[in-house]
Amino acid sequence: MTNIILLGPPGAGKGTQAARLQDNLGIVHISTGDMLRAEVASGSDLGEQAKGIMESGGLVPDDLIIAMISKRISCEDCSGGFILDGFPRTTPQAEALDEMLADSGIVLDHVIEIRVDDEAMIQRITGRFACAECGAGYHDDFHPPKEDGVCDKCGSEKFVRRADDDEDTVRSRLQAYHRQTAPIISYYSDKGGLSSVDGMADIDEVTREICKITG
């Protein structure tokens, strides 16, 4: 059982690498962004509260996120290990996670920071799209489907782009990262459990570096 946190700004490659870790290690990928987008799509109360905040590039309030993650981590499928992608994102979230893990006797094995340059993240995110059927992720320049307009994984010809992936919103998301999330890098390095990888390397190289850490 391995429990991992992936940290890094919007576009750093957390989702891309978490999906690979899920396949390689057979552990559960938990993305708070994906969970919130599912809530928005379902029209739930949480989705209604989160929608406008996500569209403006801000962070959803800690109490809502902490409750959502607390419920998710206690699900049976997480007992074999998990990768947290997009959580924690503030110091109160990191402290709440510590409490949740201590209460459940769960040990955090790796906190991995993916380091990148902000300006490159604009290009990465504004070029991103995904298969509407299976969710496989692509990029206009860096990772297009092998056959133009056809998903490599499921053959679907339908693709979607995220509502918060326009340039202005990405800049707001990067600001929120530096203001509210970057401080938790020192929270984890002070505890002695932080590793870093160069997220500007190509996707396969980043995966190799992460695998060296996770073993």
Binding site for ligand AP5 (CB under 6 A): 8, 10-16, 32-33, 36, 53-54, 57-60, 65, 86-87, 89, 93, 124-125, 128, 137, 139, 142-143, 173, 199, 202-203, 206
* Least distance (Å) between residue 176 CB and ligand AP5: 7
The full DSSP string for 15-54 is HHHHHHHHHHH--EEEEHHHHHHHHHHHT-HHHHHHHHHH
- Candidate list 115, 173, 179, 208, residue with the active-site label: 173
Polymer length in residues for the chain: 215
- Candidate list 51, 162, 208, 212, residue with the active-site label: 162
- Candidate list 20, 89, 115, 124, residue with the active-site label: 89
Closer by beta carbon to ligand AP5, 105 or else 172: 172
Known catalytic residue at 20: no
Known catalytic residue at 14: yes
* Least distance (Å) between residue 19 CB and ligand AP5: 8
Known catalytic residue at 89: yes
- Candidate list 14, 20, 51, 124, residue with the active-site label: 14
- Candidate list 72, 128, 153, 208, residue with the active-site label: 128
What is the CB neighbour count within 10 angstroms for residue 129?
18
For residue 88, say if its preceding peptide bond is cis, omega within 30 degrees of 0.
Answer: yes
Closer by beta carbon to ligand AP5, 192 or else 213: 213
Asked whether the beta carbons of 46 and 39 are under 8 A apart, the reply is yes
CB contact set of 10 (below 8 Å; sequence gap of 6+): 121, 125, 170, 173, 174, 177
Beta strands (DSSP E) in 100-153 are 110-115, 128-131, 137-139
Q: What tokens appear for 85 in the block?
A: 């992608």
Residue whose CB is nearest to ligand AP5 in the complex, by number:
33
Tell me which residue of 121, 131, 113, 116 sits closest to 193, measured CA to CA: 113
* Least distance (Å) between residue 199 CB and ligand AP5: 6
Known catalytic residue at 191: no
* Least distance (Å) between residue 138 CB and ligand AP5: 6
Known catalytic residue at 115: no
Query: Active-site residue numbers?
Result: 14, 89, 128, 162, 173
